[in-house]
Amino acid sequence: MADWSEIILRLGAATLAGCAIGLDRDLHGKPIGLKTLGLVSLSTAMVVLLALQAVEPGKFTDAVSRVIQGVLTGIGFLGAGVIVRQGDRFQVRGLTSAACAFFAACVGIVCGAGHWPIVVTAVALAFLLLTFGKRTERWLHHALGGKEDQHRPEAAADQSSDAGPHQPGK
């Protein structure tokens, strides 16, 4: 059984990591933010920590596995809530925010399990993706001859209604 300091560390780290990802979403004006992702990460860490309390230290059991599977299935509903289809055209928004909700849940799971090197590495990589991903994507589209402006709303208007953001228009 984890002592109070370990519980505070695991739940606190999960909350801070989720809030940090949420702050990025808030700063970009997205439909999910600091409080939501902080709560997602905290709640997943909490249920994993609870499941781990019933088993031998350092061991995952079927019960812990089922908790994790349930969390990851359930987070899909929250993710679906931030994905929005705009207008008559196939223009989907909020996929990165939904992915951030899923990521916050995963960070909570790993914090609840107490695997700190994985948490630190994953959060660092997520911030690199969130900070430089769009610029890298634009650069690669330009360098490889793709549509470099396909991520701007006015470019999506040129696409047919059955073409997605990474598919050619008419």
pLDDT at 159: 38
pLDDT greater than 90 at residue 100: no
Residue pLDDT, tens place only, 10-62:
999 999 998 998 888 888 888 788 888 888 888 888 888 877 776 766 666 77
pLDDT at 168 over 50: no
Query: From residue 126, how far is each of 103, 113, 116 by CA, in Å?
Result: 9, 19, 15
**With 0-12 CB in 10 A as exposed, 13-18 as middle and 19+ as buried, what is 163?**
middle
pLDDT at 167: 39
**pLDDT tens-digit series, residues 118-162:** 999 999 989 888 888 888 888 887 888 766 455 555 444 443 333
Query: What pLDDT, in 10s, does the model give residues 64-73?
Result: 788 888 887 8
What are 77-94's pLDDT values in tens digits?
777 777 776 666 666 678
* Total Cβ atoms within 10 A of residue 112: 30
As a three-state string, the secondary structure of the chain is CCCHHHHHHHHHHHHHHHHHHHHHHHHCCCCCCHHHHHHHHHHHHHHHHHHHHCCCCCCCCHHHHHHHHHHHHHHHHHHHHHCEECCCCCCEECHHHHHHHHHHHHHHHHHHHCCHHHHHHHHHHHHHHHHHHHHHHHHHHHHHCCCCCCCCHHHHCCCCCCCCCCCCCC
Task: Supply the pLDDT for residue 161.
Answer: 36
What's the pLDDT score for residue 88? 65
pTM of the model: 0.65
Q: Could you tell me which of 91, 104, 95 has the C-alpha nearest to residue 17?
A: 104
φ/ψ (deg, to 5) at 19 = -65, -40
pLDDT at residue 65, rounded to an integer: 80
Kindly provide the b/e burial profile for residues 4-21, where b requires at least 16 CB atoms within 10 angstroms of the residue's own CB.
eeebeebbebbbbbbbbb
Domain boundaries, the chain: 4-123
Give the total residue count for the chain. 170
Is residue 170 very low, low, confident or very high in pLDDT (cuts 50, 70, 90)?
very low
